[in-house]
Amino acid sequence: MGVPDDNVIRFPEGMRGSTAEFDRPQALIKARDRVTQGLRVAFSALLPQIEQELLARGDVATGRAQRELFYGTCGTHP
């Protein structure tokens, strides 16, 4: 049983990889930078919420070590 290939777009052999190979590293670098920036923005937005949650857990913590852990993390982010 063969694999159907009627939905495949065929390009001339000369076009394959002619300019795409030169642009690929730059495209990957740009994609990496965009993802990194998006993650940085997302984490920056979450940090205040995480800080509040840690403070709330510190308020209800029963042991001294737990309270020091939760309160000790407060204000450590830039």
pLDDT digits (tens, 9 = 90+) for 19-66: 555 677 888 999 999 999 999 999 999 999 988 888 787 777 677 777
**Distance of alpha carbon 34 from alpha carbon 40, whole angstroms:** 10
pTM, two decimal places:
0.45
**Distance of alpha carbon 21 from alpha carbon 64, whole angstroms:** 59
Contacts made by residues 31-40, CB under 8 angstroms, sequence distance 24+ = none
